[in-house]
Amino acid sequence: MSLTFYWYPNCGTCKKAKKWLDEKGLEYKSIHIVNDPPSEDQLKDLIASSDKPAKKFFNTSGKKYRELNMKEKLKEANETEMIQWLASDGMLIKRPLLTDGTTTTVGFKEEEYEKVWVS
């Protein structure tokens, strides 16, 4: 299984997820989500493989989210607009994202990683 790990090195949650992956001995390719954010097409695939709506891909606790008043914008936005915003700025994306191309997890919850990526 080939994993891709989108992360931000200064993010505490991302560091915990990376440590977990390393402890489990899982191989992955890490991508800096801010320097190299997923494209609109990649985001469409990630969203489709996550069983979550595009809205759940926003980093709602982030400074950029608040600065851009995304909470209000998202109320009226369609999925295409959401994907365009996410692709335009990696700081808007909830992290980390972990995918094998078929399944994608958003954020890091150890129980979820255990269930999805180990069993």
Tally of structural domains, the chain: 1
Query: Regarding beta strands 3-7 and 28-32, do their DSSP bridges make them parallel or antiparallel, or are they unpaired?
Result: parallel
Q: What is the pTM of this model?
A: 0.94
CATH number for position 98: 3.40.30.10
Short-list 77, 82, 67, 117, CA closest to 97: 117
In tens, the pLDDT along 59-115 reads 999 999 999 999 999 999 999 999 999 999 999 999 999 999 999 999 999 999 999
**Residue range of the domain that includes 99:** 3-118
